[in-house]
Amino acid sequence: MRYEKITKELFIENRNRFILKMKSNTISILTSNDVKHNNADDIMGFTQNNDLFYLSGIDQEETILVLYPEAYKKNNREILFIKETNEHVKIWDGEKLTKSEASEISGIKRVEWLKDFEKVLQLMAFEADGFYLGHNEHIKRVTKDQQTQQDRMILWCKEKYPLHDYHRVAKITRELRPIKSDVEVALIQRAANISVESFKRVLKVCKPNIKEYELEAELTYNLVRSGGSHHAFMPIVASGKNACALHYNSNDAICKEGDMILMDFGVCYANYNSDTTRCFPVNGKFSKRQKEVYTSVLHCLKEGSKLLLAGTLPEDYEKEMASLVEAELIKLGLLSANEVAMQDIEKPLYKKYFMHGTAHYLGLDVHDIGLYSRPFEAGMVLTCEPGIYIPEEGIGCRLENDYLITSTGNVNLTEAMPIEIEDIERLMNNKK
């Protein structure tokens, strides 16, 4: 693995917290993600199922975790099933985890080969009253016809054990994962630190007529050399009017003199993610209008992030953030105070220039799991990302930091990433 070893105590504690939420006399089965094929014999990079990783720390494909805390035999209470290696696999793909290595990573004493899963499960399944099975319940998931390993496990279990009760792993992990341990916060901080240095590299090389993808390459270079697994998501490097398309990521345009660049990017380190956005002028000097818009968005970020407090409802936070942006739009001359006073509250005028939410959970997923009906709590990590987009002027500006909520306020995990106009201009004009 590229990242430094994570203490197994994290995964032991996560399992203990998970088990306390399980119904009596039930078995939890969590599966790894599939290896996805591209074309011919090529495959996409493997990404572990985050619930499985959260409870085991295992980053390898073809893995199953079984938890049965009330099993009569103690060695049936936690079992990890992993892919058995052989000489052919070693020659073509390299070493896979041994049983002892998997045990050391996860803190699970009993590790078996995957081929024995059905036989071992059968020996204890009829002791149990029900199963907990995994499924992707993320609010932004788009359901496709293609089955996942989780889907296949659900179908297999219900066919083989039709009279058992069935429950949802995701309901438990959705409750647990938003509250980050100190170890998890440190991993997110590590990802954020890589992002900070990547951004500084971009500022030093940016100049008129450079391609957007050349700036993306600077992000990629520093990510890889710093031990990051991959980009947290496809980076957005959007110059000029491209910045007004919220999910633009073709990154193939020329950065022209006088344009401003919006760069939204993140780093995945040890499966934990950062998510940051910065804007900067191609030529190293903000124009008067760019400075006005940027200053307004930065004001919204500074004031809005103060609202990320334990006890605050996400809905109330978003309303306050919308009010902040609305006031800045009036100041910028994009809306009039009279128009706003007379607007249909069901169709607020600010949405023409600001059309997205500004806070989401961050962790093992960039848009991490969690309910937005739940008040913010100490230990949660959230983004704050206000924006103003003016297509008719070719200006799109969004600024984003990552915040850890504490019992006394919040901590900006991306504090070290330059954001003040003077700091950005100084770095861009001092290329050494």
* Residues 26/131, Cβ–Cβ less than 8 Å: yes
pLDDT in tens, 65-87: 999 999 999 999 999 999 998 88
Give the pLDDT band of residue 407 (cuts 50, 70, 90).
very high
Domain count, the chain: 2
Angle at 404 between CA 400 and CA 410, to 5 degrees: 95
* Residues 6+ positions from 181 with CB-CB distance below 8 Å: 10, 13, 379
pLDDT in tens, 286-300: 999 999 999 999 999
CA dist., res. 14 & res. 46, Å (int): 23
pLDDT in tens, 359-384: 999 999 999 999 999 999 999 999 99
In a domain, 214, yes or no: yes
Give the pLDDT band of residue 92 (cuts 50, 70, 90).
confident
Token pair, residue 72, equals 């009569």
pTM of the model: 0.96
Q: Pick the last residue of a domain from 174, 206, 241.
A: 174
Lowest mean pLDDT among 22-31, 301-310, 337-346: 337-346
Give the pLDDT band of residue 349 (cuts 50, 70, 90).
very high
pLDDT computed for residue 91 by the predictor:
84
User: Residue 241: what are its φ and ψ, rounded to 5°?
Assistant: -65, -20
CA dist., res. 277 & res. 264, Å (int): 4
Q: Pick the last residue of a domain from 134, 156, 174.
A: 174
In a domain, 322, yes or no: yes
Sheet containing strand 381-384, edge to edge, reads 381-384, 401-406, 409-412
3-class state of residue 117 by DSSP: helix
pLDDT computed for residue 136 by the predictor:
85
pLDDT computed for residue 37 by the predictor:
78
Chain mean position to CA 61: 20
pLDDT computed for residue 428 by the predictor:
97
Do 130 and 201 lie in a common domain? no
In a domain, 2, yes or no: no
CATH number of 83's domain: 3.40.350.10
CATH number of 221's domain: 3.90.230.10
In a domain, 366, yes or no: yes
Above 70 in pLDDT, residue 392?
Answer: yes
pLDDT computed for residue 145 by the predictor:
60
* Residues 6+ positions from 96 with CB-CB distance below 8 Å: 60, 82, 83, 84, 85, 89, 90
Average pLDDT, rounded, for the chain? 95
Do 233 and 153 lie in a common domain? no
In a domain, 340, yes or no: yes
pLDDT computed for residue 43 by the predictor:
74
* Residues 343/349, Cβ–Cβ less than 8 Å: yes
pLDDT computed for residue 257 by the predictor:
97
In a domain, 53, yes or no: yes
| Rounded average pLDDT over 207-215 | 98
Do 152 and 288 lie in a common domain? no
pLDDT computed for residue 147 by the predictor:
82
pLDDT in tens, 252-290: 999 999 999 999 999 999 999 999 999 999 999 999 999
Do 359 and 212 lie in a common domain? yes
pLDDT computed for residue 88 by the predictor:
83
Domain residues for the domain of 77 are 8-174
CA dist., res. 417 & res. 189, Å (int): 12
pLDDT computed for residue 46 by the predictor:
86
Do 228 and 166 lie in a common domain? no
| Rounded average pLDDT over 225-238 | 97
3-class state of residue 124 by DSSP: helix
Angle at 315 between CA 311 and CA 320, to 5 degrees: 90
